Structure 1
């Protein structure tokens, strides 16, 4: 499975909603980029541990 921006955003939004907010509440490009990077890194780490 390829880690597309859409997939990363979907998982990021799920985590944010669980904490009482949502991705659409964030508008600063640098903040969104940092959150996407953190989610991508977490997803890659999880994938590596599953292999």
Structure 2
């Protein structure tokens, strides 16, 4: 492994470990996406329970 690749790997590891930093590896999930995922999970759960009963 060359030095440039090792430095990039170290940079990425630091980004993963320091999630609260200014330069995050991924942007935070928007609230609407989170709400949609929770709603879809609840609807799917209710539908599966209804189907089983």
TM-score by length of structure 2 reads 0.45
Select the structure with the greater relative contact order (CA < 8 A; seq sep ≥ 6): 1
Larger Rg: 2
TM-score by length of structure 1 reads 0.46
Structure showing the higher helix proportion among its residues: 1
